[in-house]
Structure 1
Amino acid sequence: MVVKMKYLALVFGLISVIGFAQSKKGIVPKNYVAYKTTEKITIDGDDSDASWSKVDWSEPFIDIEGVEKPKYNTQVKMLWDETNYYILAKMEEPHVWATLKQRDTIIFYNNDFEVFIDPDGDTFNYYELEINALNTAWDLFLTKPYREKNVVLNDWNNTGLQSAVKIQGTLNNPADTDEGWTLEIAIPWASYQKSFGEDNVPRDKFWRVNFSRVNWQHDIVNGKYERKKDASGKYLPEYNWVWSPQGVINMHEPEKWGYVYFTSQEIGNKVSFIIPQDEKIKWELFQLYRAQKQYLAKNKKWAVTINQLTKSEIKVGTNVITPKLENHSFGWNISVKSPFSSKTFIIKEDGQFIEK
């Protein structure tokens, strides 16, 4: 545990450094309507359950920055019932390989599929799941993104998790060419605990969710797949292909994840979801959060006025919003009252988002 946490600190050290970089312009989170199913879903890695044939695939994944089409296609489908959140991922891959067999090892050392979930959208207390083609899982709970001083509970287990892999080809066989692999997952709602007596099933609500696929270039050494190295013996960087682009090479910016709306309508109905205007106010607050962090790095002190962070008028739709910056002994708050819902939104110096 101690060794692994030290490793994680090193792995994500770069993320901490670049975590406050502004995203590329024009990045808008994806959204998906997950329908309720009353039919049994058998977790076997296959898409043969009738319910899967009745819902649409997501748009194909794109690279994490949102600028390039990946070499291989990846798409997902989603469903839910009163017990589980179901995910079906289909990955094109001519060389399906995996070596890691022990749960909670560093699965992204292999090609893998990853799930990120922030139920309440405040960027704190979120969940990550990684699974390789051997169906080996790494599930963890994070108190905050790596850009802030956080705690990573690597020994947290998603109790009741079900997953299965089906290979379209042969696993770990360099002598042939495969089509790819399919991963089917059932995540129990009970894994996502809320306060005592509060229901944790998001009926007609949205969660912030994203999916990532890590894909490595490989070599074949003594008849086995290995991650490819450069001339100096260092591993070449992995590809990161995602459902909803992040704008930066960092999955741990939950405010940029996609929106999954869990409609109580059953399969066969047509439900549309439009990202609420209040969510776009939150995006603007996170831009100010990043600007405040950059201001501190440059000036060795926090800004005390919004004008020090941006000279531009802040608009959501046709509405001008006027954030208020308050400094205090522990840091600062930026708050704004929504013209759409009259709710007050606050972002703190550690990036936590609060809604009142």
Structure 2
Amino acid sequence: MKQVILIFWCFFSLLLYAQKQAPLSYVAFKTSEEINIDGKASEEAWKLAKWSENFIDIEGVETPAYKTNVKMLWDEEYLYFYTKMEEPHIWATLKQRDTVIFYNNDFEIFIDPDGDAQNYMEFEINALNTVWDLLLVKAYREGGHAIDSWDIAGVKSAVYIEGSLNDPGDQDKFWNVEIAMPWEVLTETSPNGSIPANDFWRINFSRVNWDFQLKDGKYSRKQDNNGNYLPEYNWVWSPQGVINMHEPEHWGYVYFSDKKPGGKEAFTIPKDEKIKWFLYELYRKQKSYHQKHKKWALPINKLVKGEMKIDGEKVRPKLEIHETGWNISVLSPFTGNKLIIKENGDFIKENSD
């Protein structure tokens, strides 16, 4: 019995750590080299760009069966992505744009330019180079829904396969995806409508992978004896801590350096972002409190007890209940900015100047 308890506690501790660890960050460098979108990334700029960390299970605990990494570059016209995904059986069936691509194995990109968990973009692609691009005005947890008619106009993508597609008679090695997204579209939801040179956006990547079955030599998602699909695997760059990509506050940080690929650039996540993580923690607690008690928590010590410090500085959250919901705000001891989380998950920063 003690051994069972110890195993459970170790697992719980790992899960708790995964939920608390800081999001990952990546520096994307600016290239002057013309990038040909062919799925091969043979340009010198791509060779100089660094690979991301290995993808991990979405909760941040388990190591995936197959390795996945990404690279990023940018220029004045496009934001570029390149991924390599190891896979012994490469298959895809969906050919209609804006269908639910994650019913196949796929690669996904999530982008929130201003980091407010609102008006964010999602892009999915399978091994047939079929894409689904969509916009979410607000997250699903707040009743948001996908706007399928929204497109990343001018997006370019290509898939390269080391192996064969939809052929169960052999074993494949990997498939690569290369993508160019026009800034003209991406900056429509950015804070000032401009390319974030020497600034950061919140971005994350996901790879959905399914166990498969074969029928008449054709691949499909595996089903149990009752005809139910087995659950998919969700492998991500920056761990979410929960099985949900639609909590943008957990996404990684991508800093867009105007230096050339191969250069050196140090990026440190701003301290105000750590306050933002704290505010989203209070947001989730407030939602849970309301679900249990059918009313909002008041005063603030029902959500957080004792003194709260971030990087050695005291932070004092202030809770205000109003007619349509609530606000929780913190005056940053680092910048003097007022940071606010609303009942709908929207984040607002009021600059001190």
TM-score by length of 1: 0.92
Output the CA distance in 2 between the equivalents of 1:125 and 1:189. Answer: 16
Percent pairwise identity: 59
> How far apart are 1:198 and its partner, in Å?
4.7
Cα gap change, 1:25 to 1:115, in 2 (>3 Å): closer
> How far apart are 1:49 and its partner, in Å?
1.1
Which of 299, 312, 315 is 1:321 aligned to?
315
Q: Equivalent residue for 2:340?
A: 346
Q: Report the AA paired with residue 142 of structure 2.
A: E
Q: Equivalent residue for 1:304?
A: 298
Q: Report the AA paired with residue 290 of structure 1.
A: R
Q: Is the 8 A contact 2:139 2:145 kept in 1?
A: no
Q: Equivalent residue for 1:157?
A: 151
Instruction: Give yes or no for the alignment of 1:260 onto 2:251.
Output: no
Output the CA distance in 1 between the equivalents of 2:345 and 2:206. Answer: 23
Output the CA distance in 2 between the equivalents of 1:195 and 1:94. Answer: 38
Q: Equivalent residue for 2:4?
A: none
Cα gap change, 1:232 to 1:201, in 2 (>3 Å): same
Q: Report the AA paired with residue 238 of structure 2.
A: S
Cα gap change, 1:94 to 1:127, in 2 (>3 Å): same
Q: Equivalent residue for 1:79?
A: 73
Output the CA distance in 1 between the equivalents of 2:76 and 2:187. Answer: 15
Cα gap change, 1:195 to 1:255, in 2 (>3 Å): closer
Q: Gaps spanning 5+ residues in structure 2: where?
A: 1-15
TM-score by length of 2: 0.93
Cα gap change, 1:236 to 1:162, in 2 (>3 Å): same
Output the CA distance in 2 between the equivalents of 1:230 and 1:196. Answer: 44
Q: Equivalent residue for 1:120?
A: 114
User: RMSD over aligned Cα, in angstroms?
Assistant: 1.6
* Secondary structure at 2:157 match in 1: strand
Q: Report the AA paired with residue 66 of structure 1.
A: G
Output the CA distance in 2 between the equivalents of 1:195 and 1:139. Answer: 15
Q: Report the AA paired with residue 238 of structure 1.
A: E
Within 5 A, what are the aligned runs for 1:108-257?
A: 108-194=102-188, 198-257=192-251
Which of 292, 296, 300 is 2:286 aligned to?
292
Instruction: Give yes or no for the alignment of 1:333 onto 2:331.
Output: no
Structure 1 stretches of 4+ with a deviation exceeding 2 A read 22-27, 192-200
Q: Report the AA paired with residue 180 of structure 2.
A: A
Output the CA distance in 2 between the equivalents of 1:200 and 1:224. Answer: 46
Cα gap change, 1:196 to 1:106, in 2 (>3 Å): closer
> How far apart are 1:194 and its partner, in Å?
3.8
> How far apart are 1:196 and its partner, in Å?
11
Output the CA distance in 1 between the equivalents of 2:201 and 2:235. Answer: 21
